[in-house]
């Protein structure tokens, strides 16, 4: 019902910045929250940030507070993740997901994108 496509990943040096985009299509009328998650090889998927689709509520993982900013453009059905002061430990595949509430738990998200690779070199 909802399709999500991430873009903006790439290779960046430590201390650099990237902006990820997540564009939604389909039945987005039931989308109330959008989150970003990341997963490194051999590790569990972890929460990064979330934003309300029709509210200004935001959540951030402690590991990215002060460095990452989540934002949205409702007219374009797009959510952004501005990542600054990147560290090698930020290297992962980044996924966006939509939910009917604003959540920080992956199991509560209904639709997922395919992911975009972010690699941070030291």
Q: What is the 3-state secondary structure (H, E, C) of 76-106?
A: HCEEEEEECCCCHHHCEEEEEEEECCCCCCH
Determine the average pLDDT of the residues in 40-63. Answer: 95
Q: What is the pLDDT of residues 73-100, one digit of tens each?
A: 999 999 999 999 999 999 999 999 999 8
Site of tokens 């929250």: 33
| Residues 51 and 23 sit within 8 Å (Cβ to Cβ) | no
Confidence of residue 56 (pLDDT cuts 50, 70, 90): confident
Res. 1 pLDDT band, cuts 50 70 90: confident
Residue with tokens 């989308």: 31
Statement: residue 27 has pLDDT above 90: no
Comparing CA positions, the residue from 74, 92, 104, 75 lying closest to residue 20 is: 92
Which of the four pLDDT bands, split at 50, 70 and 90, describes residue 31? Answer: confident
């Amino acid at each position: 019902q909802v399709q999500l496509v991430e873009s903006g990943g790439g290779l960046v040096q430590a201390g650099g910045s990237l902006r990820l985009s997540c564009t939604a299509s389909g039945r987005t009328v039931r989308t109330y929250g959008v989150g970003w998650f990341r997963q490194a090889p051999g590790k569990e998927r972890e929460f990064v940030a979330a934003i309300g689709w029709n509210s200004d509520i935001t959540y951030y993982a402690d590991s990215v507070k002060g460095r990452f900013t989540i934002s949205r453009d409702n007219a374009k059905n797009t959510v952004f993740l501005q990542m600054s002061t990147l560290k090698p430990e930020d290297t992962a595949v980044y996924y966006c997901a939509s939910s009917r509430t604003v959540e920080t738990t992956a199991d509560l998200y209904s639709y997922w994108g395919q992911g975009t690779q972010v690699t941070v070199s030291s």
